Amino acid sequence: MNWNQRLLSTPIIANITKKIISAKASREAHSIAEHFTQFLQPHVAVNQALKEEAFKIRHNVYCEELAFEEVRENGQETDEFDEQSIFSLIKHKPSETFTSCVRLVTSNGPEQLLPIEKYCLDSITNEALSPKRFNRAEIAEISRLAVKADFRRRKADHYKGSGTGVISEISYSETELRCFPFIAIGLYMAAATMGMNTGIRHVYVMMEPRLARSMKFIGISFQQLGPTVDYHGLRAPYYISPEIFMKDLSPGFKSLYKTIEKDICLQLKQMNLT
């Protein structure tokens, strides 16, 4: 058991240790935010070509690597919810390569269900925050987040320099958090920006509880709405609102968010969505 593991497994000092780790993450994020635009750039899919880039990344991850979906002849993974979605990608600028993507599924009426409503509604036991309680135009779901294998976390001796697409990495607890790549954080922040700037007030996501705990360390506090279920692995339903997102986000990661928000908002204007 390493140093972090020993500290985090000691009840008396666990809370203090986690606060120290969170503060370290926030300080590191200040530095990352300053250099984020040098290496990575968020893109809203303002045209069909960019949407297809997202579909190709999803096919690479969801079909070829994870086998969650069938391999498609056209090399693009799509589904019924894409027609009601806004997409964001992150490009690695030095290589001009799109590293990752995420979508924000919206609803224009009761006939347009979110994925969580169609497939996992029974897993939501917190009825007060169920999507059926809110205005359809104000709900959305973060969905189909995918990061190419070449741009994910690797062992330290395998990824030095900006060519990996991960500018920096912070080790929290190997037992609980593993290490959280900034590309994935950037995707959640891009999705948050797309939602907050298009009138979304209530956001849902199906994710692994471990991932939710990792996000909490940087101040993104998703609220669990029900038990873990088997949905492409063990996942649980989570909820977050713009107020919760901005209230809890640590100062360093707010800097990173503002950097991403600036790019995303300019592109949303091109789509007449703001």
Q: What is the CATH number of the domain that holds 248?
A: 3.40.630.30
pLDDT band at residue 233, thresholds of 50, 70 and 90? confident
pLDDT band at residue 127, thresholds of 50, 70 and 90? very high
N-term to C-term CA, the chain: 50
pLDDT band at residue 10, thresholds of 50, 70 and 90? low
CA dist 35 and 30 (Å) reads 9
The two tokens of residue 180 are 């959280």
Query: Which letter does DSSP use for residue 135 in this model?
Result: -
Across the chain, mean pLDDT equals: 80
CA dist 27 and 7 (Å) reads 21
Domain count, the chain: 1
| pLDDT value, residue 167 | 33
Give me the mean pLDDT over the 216-222 stretch.
Answer: 84
Output the CA angle 187-22-191, nearest 5 degrees: 15
Helix pair 182-196, 11-39: axis angle to 10 deg: 80
* Amino acid at residue number 152: R
CA dist 147 and 20 (Å) reads 29
pTM equals: 0.80
The H or E element containing residue 139 is: strand 139-147
Range of the domain at 102: 3-270
| pLDDT value, residue 138 | 97
124 versus 68: which is more confidently predicted?
A: 124
Give the length of the chain: 274
Output helix, strand, coil percentages for the chain, rounded to the nearest 5: 50, 20, 30
* Amino acid at residue number 146: A
Nearest to 227 by CA among 240, 238, 217: 238
| pLDDT value, residue 218 | 75
Give me the mean pLDDT over the 178-201 stretch.
Answer: 82
Decide if 162 contacts 174 (C-beta within 8 A). Answer: no
CA dist 106 and 92 (Å) reads 27
Query: Which letter does DSSP use for residue 64 in this model?
Result: I
| pLDDT value, residue 172 | 33
Give me the mean pLDDT over the 90-110 stretch.
Answer: 92
| pLDDT, tens only, 24-46 | 655 665 666 666 777 889 999 99
Query: Of 69-73, 128-132, 152-156, 251-255, where does mean pLDDT reach its minimum?
Result: 152-156
61 versus 252: which is more confidently predicted?
A: 61
CA dist 196 and 261 (Å) reads 10
Task: Report the relative pairing of strands 85-92 and 97-106 from DSSP bridges.
Answer: antiparallel
Asked if residue 8 has pLDDT above 50, the reply is: no
| pLDDT, tens only, 165-185 | 333 344 333 332 333 457 888
In a 10 Å sphere around its CB, with 0-12 CB exposed, 13-18 middle and 19+ buried, how is residue 72 labelled? middle
Decide if 100 contacts 43 (C-beta within 8 A). Answer: no
For residue 207, the number of C-alpha atoms closer than 13 Å in the C-beta half-sphere is: 25
Query: Per mean pLDDT, which of 4-13, 15-24, 187-196, 229-238 is the most reliable?
Result: 187-196
| pLDDT value, residue 108 | 93
- Other C-beta atoms lying within 10 Å of the C-beta of residue 13: 13
157 versus 47: which is more confidently predicted?
A: 47
CA dist 234 and 242 (Å) reads 26
Give me the mean pLDDT over the 145-166 stretch.
Answer: 53
